[in-house]
Structure 1
Amino acid sequence: MLAATLVFIVLLCAGVFFRVPYAEMSPGPTVNTLGSADGEPVLQISGRPTYPTTGHLNMTTVRVTGADYRMNLFEAVYGWLTHDNVVVPHETLYPDGKTEEESTQENAEEFSQSQESAKVAALRELDIPVASRVVVAAVVKGAPAEDVLHAGDVIRAVDGTAVEEPGDVADLVVEREPGEKVVFTIVPADEAEAAEKARREPRTTEQVTVTTEAAEDDGRAVVGIQAGTDHTFPFTIDIHLADVGGPSAGLMFALGIVDKLTPGDLTGGEFVAGTGTIDEAGEVGPIGGIEMKLVGARNAGAEYFLTPSANCATAASDTPEGLTLVKVDTIEDATGALERIREGDTAELPACTTG
């Protein structure tokens, strides 16, 4: 008895104090993109007529343990035995030794980009024109462009040649030899922002000169900026949702915008949840933590779940009872599926399979 008690105490202490290199994922909250969060509408549209909506178009989330948190052995075993949670290697959630702060910042940037892409995809789905422009997305610290070009500057031309896509900027810069000068025709970020808010054309452009340097990897001429695309919308669309990160809400934001901007009811009053990244062309991409999102959606009351096709096999292998998976590849697929749900024609819904 004494020996058994001592062994038990040793095992108990080991379970409590022995840390293992794992992290845990669990179902997070779901939010109706047609509704409110923290007393404020998730989607706020001004400058264009909107229409009443019913039902749910819920985006879904996953809770994860922090980067600095180290599970003990008991927590890991409990997580493995609990159906609704998933225990994964720590490096799966925080690769390359990322800190929690770095991960949070990256997630915030992805979330912001997903909102921008959702707006563009939704408006293009409705055949509403969206103007785009090439901008300075980031400036490398210590690079020749630092303090000369700034994030948000609109790039009109490089060495007098107009640019239409972000890739045009690099193509024109590398035509120079390292050490040569490149002239950028820009609209400064503050003027571009003021013009967008006032719904007018920018009043001023500037020409700034940057001396190129050799890239460390291949010696080509660079100035140390990352070019990107910014959009000018014909009216204001604001997305208000705090404490959420990552790109996986893009599809549901886009569908919420479409619903608010079109007469009628996209869901027919049904409870639909879903997930998926979305790009500006309306293509839906895969996400992580699909198992957790299915559980969270069903717990919230969802009956249908819009599922990126690349996640279908995993989702179909363990679907919560009462939840119907709907496979989607594009925003057009999603709106078509919602039409079938609205009309009660659910037998024709594209299904997820394990194959």
Structure 2
Amino acid sequence: MSRRALTLLVASFLVLALGVVGAFLPVPYVVLSPGPTENTLGEVEKKPVITITGHETFATTGALRLVTVEYKGGPTNRIDLLTALRGWLDPTVAVVPETTIFPPNQTAQQVEQQNAAEMTGSQDNATAAALTELKIPFTAEVVVAGTEKEMPAEGKLKTGDQLLKVDGVDVVTVDTVTAQVKSHKPGDTVVFTISRDGKQQGVPIVAAAGPEGNAMVGVSLSTKKYNFPFTVTINVGDVGGPSAGLMFSLGILDKLTPGELTGGKSIAGTGTITPEGRVGAIGGIAQKMVGARDAGATVFLTPADNCAEALNAAPDGLRLVKATTLHEAVTALDALASGKGSVPSCAAG
């Protein structure tokens, strides 16, 4: 064999060897794939997903499926290049930078703890949203999360203050406070009744003008605790994050009302939920739709802010129904079940 041929042979072998070794090197990416779905009207591990005690409930049929995304990879268990390449070639999965799921300043354990906390929060918000939709009274402990610098509330309201009333109006949710402040004009005095260190006091604050000319005081709020008139328990096993909020709300609402919200069909969907019933955007919409279709769903409740992305990735046979609020989702499901009325569609913009 000539020296040139030998050199080419050795070089080819080295390139092949490096390629094989390189294919198994860990890379900072995460593969997202369709995860399992759970029927919020059904059971998980032989226990009801939603249990309501202290209030009359009604039988349900069909399915209201929450959808999930599974991930492979992460700082402590990185995928190799070959796995990433396979993912890039599979239209049902997504390969994203590791930092999308695991922020650089958080450990994998901290991310899991945050997801668990968000799941708990979404369950409380879902119960609040369902009761709000059904006009069942409840209360919440709304506290000050912080104030904006150089805004009227700075120095007058403190983190941890519990808001009891605004201008004499009982604080039920965060929206109660927002609505009451916005009912004023810039320059008006807004009187907050708060509890601080166990003592009740009134705090008058002169409202400033917001970006749109509305009154604002520059305070951020959070809900510390809900006081519901009965108990709602949600069991979903090893599922985290806030994106099942809408489907929890629908499941609770269906159990609390006579009739079949699903019309006996398999309905899937996703979206965060606020106590007032606003539906928010989520991640992994493409993978969640594939999981929904694989589970037999024909209708997919889609957050309005995810509609554009969903339209480009929807699998065949899955109807996308736009959901901006819980009320809109309920109205749409009623229309689908009865065959009467309009159904908001992502395609309609």
TM-score scaled by length of structure 2 = 0.75
2:24 aligned counterpart, secondary structure: helix
**C-alpha contact 1:56 1:269 (8 A) present in aligned 2:** yes
Unaligned stretches of 5+ residues in structure 1: 138-152, 169-181, 187-205, 208-225
Q: Does 2:311 match 1:304? A: no
Output the amino acid matched with 1:107.
N
Alignment partner of 1:38 out of 9, 31, 45: 45
Query: What whole-Å deviation, never above 9, does each CA across 1:173-225 have from its counterpart, x for those lacking one?
Result: xxxxxxxxx99353xxxxxxxxxxxxxxxxxxx89xxxxxxxxxxxxxxxxxx
String of CA shifts for 1:132-161, please: whole Å, max 9, x gaps.
224699xxxxxxxxxxxxxxx99588xxx9
Pick the aligned partner of 1:285 from 280, 287, 290: 280
Tell me which of 65, 69, 80 is aligned to 1:58: 65
Is 1:71 matched with 2:79? yes
SS in 1 for 2:32: strand
Deviation at 1:10, TM superposition (A): 2.3
Give the corresponding residue for 2:344. 350
CA distance in 1, matches of 2:170, 2:65: 39
Which of 3, 16, 33 does residue 8 from structure 1 map onto?
A: 16
Q: CA deviation at 1:113?
A: 0.5
Aligned to 2:206: none
C-alpha distance in structure 2 between counterparts of 1:45 and 1:60, whole Å: 22
Counterpart contact for 1:317–1:354, Cα < 8 Å = no
Q: Name the CA distance, whole Å, in 2 between partners of 1:105 and 1:320.
A: 32
**Could you list the runs of 4 or more consecutive aligned residues of structure 1 that deviate by over 4 angstroms after TM superposition?**
153-157, 161-168
Matches within 5 A, 1:182-331: 184-186=196-198, 228-331=223-326
Identity of aligned residues (%): 46
1:338 and 2:300 matched: no
Deviation sequence 1:310-355 (CA, Å, 0-9, x none): 0000000011111111001000110011011111348x32111397
Query: Hey, what's the Cα distance between the residues in 1 that align with 2:90 and 2:348?
Result: 22
Equivalents in 2 of 1:236, 1:33: separation in Å? Answer: 16
For the Cα contact (< 8 Å) 2:60–2:255, is it kept in 1?
yes
Q: CA deviation at 1:2?
A: 6.1
**In angstroms, what is the RMSD of aligned CA positions?**
3.1
Instruction: Read off the aligned partner of 1:184 and give its amino acid letter.
Output: R
Shift in alpha-carbon separation, 1:299–1:227, aligned structure 2, 3 A: closer
Q: TM-score, normalised by structure 1?
A: 0.74
Matched, 1:25 2:32: yes
Distance 1:259 1:327, change over 3 A: same
Note the C-alpha offset of 1:246: 0.6
